[in-house]
A and B are shown apart, each in its own frame.
Chain A
Amino acid sequence: MTTGLWDHETFIANLREVGGHAYHDKHPFHVAMNEGRLSPEALRGWVANRFYYQRNIPVKDAAILSNCPQREVRRIWIHRVIDHDGSVENEGGIEAWLRLGEACKLSHHELIQDRYVQPGVRFAVDAYVNFARTQPWPVAIASSLTELFAPDLMAARLAAFEKFYTWIDRAGLDYFRRRVTQARHDSEEALAITLEHCNTPELQRDAIRALEFKCDVLWSMLDAIHHAYGTPIADEAQPRLARGVRLQIDCTTGKGVLLFPEGILELNETAHEILTRCDGRTLSELVRALADDYDVDVSALAADVRETLADLQRRKLVEFA
């Protein structure tokens, strides 16, 4: 094990290596989100849970400020609190996130009351705030470097939202637009402070560990969200009716119905056509077959099929092999 002081180049390379394997852009839920595979409910779940993180960020940054005796650093760092909390001229990141929630049909009230916050998300975020309170301030600043790993993450997310989640009002995506430039600036600033102030072998190694810890925070949040809102449906998944569910034609109306314990669901034509093809083929085969039969574009159809099946999966009427 090296005990010496790293030069800046090595230090930066080591910091980047953490992101190479642990950053949350590799989490299956995040991948699914950027590939447009999340249902509206799952996306809302992400927005609502992520809000708990957003609204605790200024508290975290204020904790760093309160531990930092250096005026030059505080002058730089205090911008983060203001950027997020907003000011008279500027609505701030939290307000922008609330507008994102609104565009997703989540009210301010629902978000501010933490109504959908999963226990795992709460633990992770609270642990992050506590970390910033109790660690030496240069180490706490190093933990914020995660945005360094993916300078294009915000741009990619914005593009994915605009392309796949067209049910969200575009005006609600301002938060991401703003972060595209802000994130780059912030991480460069934080990197400069880290390089300057994590200036002993111990502090450098603590900085690496802090970054690993922060990656774990973000990863755990997605684990909890993933657990609560389900796995997005993969192309190779084979949809089938759940146990105890039967598909048949209602002789009285001529329409398709799903029958299950104590319940009857009348199907629209799309859902009925999808379900009659749930016979062991994969989702992508099913989409192709439907597109052929109805002479429509595969990419337009895929989202519909996925959403219908995800909805039926949530009602436990469909499962995937």
Chain B
Amino acid sequence: MITCMTAPRPYAFLAEVTYRCPLRCPYCSNPTRVRNDRELTTDEWCRVIREAAALGVLQIGFSGGEPLVRHDLAELVRGAREANLYTNLITSGVGLDENCAHELRDAGLDSVQLSFQSDAPDLADEIAGARAHQRKLDAAAEIRAAGISLSLNFVIHRRNIDRLPQIIELTETLGAERVELANVQFYGWAFLNRAALLPTREQVARARDVATAAKARLAGKIDIFYVLPDYYETRPKPCLNGWGQRYLTVNPVGDVLPCQTASSAIPDLRFENVRARSLDWIWRESESFNRFRGTEWMPEPCRSCPQKEIDFGGCRCQAALLTGNAANTDPVCTLSPNRAYVDALLRDLNSPSNHPRAWMPRVNPKKDVIQPETDCTGTGQANLL
């Protein structure tokens, strides 16, 4: 295959070690349907980590689900450090007590990204669907005490966006070094719950001002990353810096994904599994990694667009979810013939008669997975609101 000569080098590896999680956040990016299969074992993960390092990867993020539910997490961290990777744990903090913090630090954990739902305990617990807020505050203290670098992550949506000033205050109190204020992106469970989660235009404008001011005020103290709500943008985000360019994800059962949300968003893409193939082969040669690599696959208006090397046509998963075809231009782009879907959604949401919807909490995968009534993994625009 020609592409095997041109495959770039991956830098960052997202290891989704489990889909299990004690929280039930309605914006979870877990797939809404999960293949009922065995999670990778400790040895399998350690092998995949070594293969990733050999490919050129420099950073690993342990994610999920909640990675702490795996009892071998410290062992995986040690394996990653032995492979010379920078290790980051992306966690809800539930289960991260003093012992755990010390064990992870001693295994070589470099940094922790701790998620919060809100600054207000009641709202936070309501969003998480669990009494988790206090445990997160405790976890933050343990991480600091263990001397591990701490970042916070808040997913921002209609119910908590007006609390941005207080949320930033909490970040200052907790002594975090950086914070992501990430407007919810609509994949997985968040896609199902769009109508309940998407903020109004007014909310978005206010939040942007708050974030900009806080960024200036806290410059040099806390790095603030404000992730824009992309439905309100006019050009798409440069998703992943291009498909199969820098990032790779391995999910709990060993499927290798160019993007963590691709397995549920793009049903016609077949993903290779590390139990059957080497990571090297999958990265360089698999159809799933090559399909949207570079710019050759692009349709119009992307193909002739001067921005094509800047935003790479946006997000493949968003194109699939909103238009039914992953190869379309991301419909967030106002040049996309499908932008009308996004506009219709925003118009309904911002109409005076619109009231916030209730959301559906995430459901944990079990033997008999409770499935949502509507299947939104196909052409989403049919059930927008």
Which residues of chain A have a CB within 8 Å of any CB of chain B?
A: 228, 230, 242-246, 248, 250-252, 257, 259-262, 264, 314, 316
Contact = CB atoms under 8 A, between A and B. Distances in A.
Interface string B61-89: 00000000000000000000000101010
B177 A264 contact: no
B209 to A, nearest CB: 16
25 contacts: A228-B219, A230-B220, A243-B147, A244-B110, A244-B111, A244-B148, A244-B149, A246-B86, A246-B110, A257-B58, A259-B86, A259-B110, A260-B111, A260-B149, A261-B113, A261-B151, A261-B177, A261-B178, A262-B88, A262-B151, A264-B11, A264-B58, A264-B59, A314-B220, A316-B220
Listed residue (A251, A259, A260, A261) with the most chain B CB atoms within 10 angstroms of its CB? A261
A252 B9 contact: yes
B58 A250 contact: yes
Interface of B: 9, 11, 53, 56, 58-59, 84, 86, 88, 110-111, 113, 147-149, 151, 177-178, 219-220, 223
Contact of B84 (A243, A251, A261, A314): A251
Contacts of A250: 58
Contacts of B111: 244, 260-261
A264 B85 CA distance: 11
A170 to B, nearest CB: 31
B177 A243 contact: yes
Contacts of A242: 177
Tell me the interface secondary structure of chain A in the complex: loop
Contacts of A316: 177, 220, 223
Given A261-B178, A316-B220, A243 B149 contact: yes
Contact of A259 (B58, B113, B220): B58
A243 B84 CA distance: 18
A48 to B, nearest CB: 14
Contacts of A262: 59, 88, 151
A261 B56 contact: no
A248 B220 contact: no
Given A246-B110, A250-B58, 7 more contacts: A228-B219, A243-B148, A248-B84, A252-B56, A262-B151, A316-B220, A316-B223
Contacts of A259: 58-59, 86, 110
B220 A261 contact: no
B58 A261 contact: no
A246 B111 CA distance: 11
A246 B149 CA distance: 11
Nearest to B56: A252
Nearest to A315: B223
B218 to A, nearest CB: 11
A260 B58 CA distance: 10
Nearest to A248: B84
A228 B218 CA distance: 10
B149 A261 contact: yes
A261 B147 contact: no
A314 B219 CA distance: 9
Contacts of B149: 243-245, 260-261
A94 B2 CA distance: 62
Nearest to B246: A264
B38 to A, nearest CB: 30
